[in-house]
Homo-oligomer: A and B are copies of this chain.
Amino acid sequence: MFERVALIGIGLINSSIARVMKRDGLAGEIVIYSRRQSTLEKAMELGLAERAETDAAAAVKDADLVILGVPVGANAALAEAIGPSLMPGAIVTDVGSVKAAVIRDVAPHLPDGVHLVPGHPVAGTEHSGPEAGFADVFQDHWCILTPTEGCDPDAVEKIAEFWRRAGSTIDIMDAAHHDKVLAITSHLPQLIAYNIVGTVLDIEHVTKREVVKYAAGGFRDFTRIAASDPEMWRDVFLNNQEAVLEMLGRFTEDLAVLQRAIRWGDDKALEELFTRTRGIRRDLIDAKQI
């Protein structure tokens, strides 16, 4: 499908992409970039690429596909660095969890004739680094593409086709809507998980040993989410500020109502909410999202 693919960053997602491409023979050559030499060495040992570069501009040279797979806050500087070295006709895509910020930060640095197709595979685990990736991670997941108006349809289709080969189903929407949807289904849950784990770590009247022992009661699920890559998530929240703060405001408002119901023993209100929330699980099972 591609002659030379440059993977900018080689963490969980980009290393999984490398595995898919190796498995299915989709790339003539894979060149990887990371600012850390040790990460590149690990990735080369894993056989993920033909060549490794600590200079991003050198990595993208003659690449017909460039995939940005770094914390989204790093995109602007990287796009500026690679812009002049991009081949005419090259496609630049990314795998970030926010999309409007990616367009804002990357598009201005791309020369004419280079196609930007922002993408977001809604997949992953709480692990990070090149050793954490696996080819099946995208299987049966959605991949959202958010091409801007005037984007070359062939470039979009080529990226869509890659994701279909990786096992994903494609959705196309505009970047602003993507950021609102993901603020709800992903960014808010992630933030809440971080917050609850942080709150629990600060408790002084119960030992950490006790927390660990009885984590099966529910806390355990939050620790998995809150073990995700700190830099990646820091950048997500800072680059989807408005939608995240809006969701957080709603969450806090609802929590105040729930708190009041507990304080005043409003059994009806509690039971009503807890019954309502049960239904969405059935919807997820029906939609084969579980």
- Contact indicator B205/A180 (Cβ below 8 Å): yes
A1 at the B interface (CB under 8 A): no
Tell me the smallest distance from the CB of A192 to a CB of chain B, in Å: 6
Q: Which residues of B contact A258 (CB under 8 A)?
A: 191, 194-195, 198
- A150 interface contact, C-beta 8 A: no
Partner of A262, one of B122, B238, B275: B238
The reply to whether the CB of A265 lies closer than 8 angstroms to some CB of chain B is yes
> A172 at interface (Cβ–Cβ under 8 A)?
no
Does A174 touch B at the CB level, under 8 Å? no
Q: Which chain B residues border A180 with CB–CB below 8 Å?
A: 205-206
**Do A234 and B274 form a contact, CB below 8 Å, given A184-B203, A189-B217, A214-B186?**
yes
Complex CA–CA separation, A144 to B216 (angstroms): 13
Q: Does A41 contact B (CB under 8 A)?
A: no
Known contacts A245-B262, A258-B195, A277-B198; is A238 also within 8 Å of B267 by CB?
Answer: yes
Are A213 and B252 in contact (CB-based, < 8 A)?
no
Complex CA–CA separation, A151 to B227 (angstroms)? 42
A51 interface hit (Cβ, 8 Å): no
Residues of B with C-beta under 8 A to A37: none
Q: Assess whether B222 is in contact with A276, with CB atoms less than 8 Å apart.
A: no
Q: Report if A211 contacts B (CB, 8 A).
A: yes
For chain A residues 192-246, which have a beta carbon within 8 Å of chain B?
Answer: 192-203, 205-206, 208, 210-228, 230-231, 233-234, 237-238, 241, 244-245
Docked-complex contact A284 and B234, CB < 8 angstroms: no
A54 to chain B, nearest CB (A): 23
Flag A244-288 by CB within 8 Å of B: 1 or 0 each: 110110111011101100110101001101111110110110010
Known contacts A219-B186, A221-B224; is A289 also within 8 Å of B230 by CB?
Answer: no
Question: Which residues of chain B are near A256, meaning CB under 8 Å?
Answer: 252
Q: Is the CB of B212 within 8 A of A287?
A: yes
What are the 6 tightest A-B residue pairs by CB atom distance, in nearest-first order? A186-B217, A230-B274, A189-B218, A227-B281, A226-B277, A197-B277
Which residue numbers of A lie inside 8 Å of B, CB to CB? 73, 97, 122-123, 126, 141-142, 144, 171, 180-182, 184-203, 205-206, 208, 210-228, 230-231, 233-234, 237-238, 241, 244-245, 247-248, 250-252, 254-256, 258-259, 262-263, 265, 267, 270-271, 273-278, 280-281, 283-284, 287, 289-290
**Chain A to chain B contacts (Cβ below 8 Å), 28 pairs:** A142-B213, A142-B216, A181-B211, A184-B200, A184-B203, A185-B210, A188-B196, A188-B219, A189-B196, A189-B222, A195-B251, A195-B258, A198-B258, A208-B283, A212-B283, A213-B289, A215-B284, A223-B277, A223-B280, A223-B281, A223-B284, A226-B277, A226-B280, A226-B281, A230-B275, A233-B274, A241-B263, A245-B262
